[in-house]
Homo-oligomer: A and B are copies of this chain.
Amino acid sequence: MFIGAQVSLYPMTSEFIRVILSGLEALTPYRDSLRIETDDISTLMVGAPGPLFDAVRDLFARTAQDPAHVTMHVTFSRGCPGEPDEPACRCETLTRAQGTPLAQRQAEALAAVQAAPVLGVEIDVQFSLYVLGQDRHMDEIYGCIDVLKASGTFLRSKNFCTRLRGDAGAVFETVRQAFLRFGPAEGHVTIDLTASANSPSPR
Contacts and interface: CB of A to CB of B under 8 A. Distances in A.
A69 B137 CA distance: 38
Interface stretch (A93-101, A167-175, A189-197): A189-197
A25 B40 CA distance: 28
A75 to B, nearest CB: 5
Contacts of A163: 41
Interface stretch (A47-55, A56-64, A106-114, A153-161): A153-161
B75 A44 contact: no
A104 interface: no
Max chain B Cβ within 10 angstroms of own Cβ: one of A46, A73, A201: A73
A65 interface: no
A120 interface: no
15 contacts: A4-B160, A5-B160, A6-B126, A11-B12, A12-B13, A13-B13, A14-B15, A39-B201, A40-B124, A40-B202, A41-B124, A41-B163, A41-B194, A73-B194, A137-B188
